[in-house]
Structure 1
């Protein structure tokens, strides 16, 4: 194994030292929330009733608080071809959860933009900003104290980091990211590139 370059080593050491207070505060928060457990059993009747009002046949299990409840955060929309498989995932996940004695609820959806659609448009300036919005939306979806674990549905370079950043606020909950994979458009990348070049040339 090659030795780390001295400059990289020094910068890494500075980052570790500088981030100690913030990192320790985060670790303390996660330990405290882990030890406190999930809030669902402690929610008032009104809060809890709102939490499972739309859950159909899963209401008794969620109300009873005896089964694991999985919070689903989805980045699905009809604009991202790679997200197309996610359209039916939540309903399937609810069925699979019931089969093992658990429940699943969609905790929230995040606004996931497609760079492929916005390239060359004024709106492409929102691309980097969207990561922070996704992180905030993820945290909002998980803030209700209803879940023992998290399943995140999303793929793409801004969406995945946003989901993970938001989920880290709830680092005491077991979390899994479910990538959907590509959806072929029927056009080879070289052909797309050729058409875009022709369009750019007018």
Structure 2
């Protein structure tokens, strides 16, 4: 199915306009990938808090400092029925990340426009 011409034009303008910043972002990701895991930059207490809630197998992966740790950030909340489908997403993401031998943790929530906070 083809995109509506207006939507296609807007998408192309966004892609063109964001190309320099997207290229810089991707270069930053590549550099981080080459540099590897940098958990040693955290103090022992911060590291301990970060590991505490993980299951034992995930703690081992984190301690070895070789596996990625993905932060999950969401604007989900229980107050809005429209958010209900997203309630299970953190666990779905965690399970998918474990399948590629990494770990994920819900790191925080942010307010959404529709929740009346912003």
TM-score band by shorter chain is 0.5 to 0.7
Name the CA distance, whole Å, in 2 between partners of 1:40 and 1:86: 30
- Partner residue in 2 for 1:81: 81
Deviations 1:6-26 (A, max 9, x none): xxxxxxxxxxxxxxxxx9xxx
Given that 2:37 and 2:67 are in contact with CA atoms closer than 8 Å, whether structure 1 keeps it comes out as: no
After the TM superposition, which residues 111-126 of structure 1 pair with which residues of structure 2 at under 5 Å, given as runs?
A: 111-114=111-114
Name the CA distance, whole Å, in 1 between partners of 2:92 and 2:103: 11
- Partner residue in 1 for 2:44: 45
How much does 1:114 deviate? 2.4
- Partner residue in 2 for 1:64: 64
How much does 1:106 deviate? 0.8
Moved over 4 A (4+): 34-38
After the TM superposition, which residues 1-202 of structure 1 pair with which residues of structure 2 at under 5 Å, given as runs?
A: 34=31, 39-57=38-56, 58-114=58-114, 130=118
Residues matched between the structures, number: 89
Name the CA distance, whole Å, in 2 between partners of 1:79 and 1:88: 15
Aligned Cα RMSD in Å?
A: 2.6
Given that 2:73 and 2:108 are in contact with CA atoms closer than 8 Å, whether structure 1 keeps it comes out as: yes
Name the CA distance, whole Å, in 2 between partners of 1:82 and 1:106: 20
Name the CA distance, whole Å, in 1 between partners of 2:90 and 2:106: 7
Name the CA distance, whole Å, in 1 between partners of 2:68 and 2:36: 12
Deviations 1:93-142 (A, max 9, x none): 11111111011011111123526xx6xxxxxxx6xxx2xxxxxxxxxxxx
**Long gaps (5+) in structure 2:** 1-20
Name the CA distance, whole Å, in 2 between partners of 1:39 and 1:47: 13
SS across alignment from 1:70: strand
SS across alignment from 2:88: helix
**Long gaps (5+) in structure 1:** 1-22, 119-125, 131-202
| Higher alpha-carbon Rg | 1
| Closer, same or farther: CA 38–64 of 1 in aligned 2, 3 Å | closer
Name the CA distance, whole Å, in 2 between partners of 1:67 and 1:39: 11
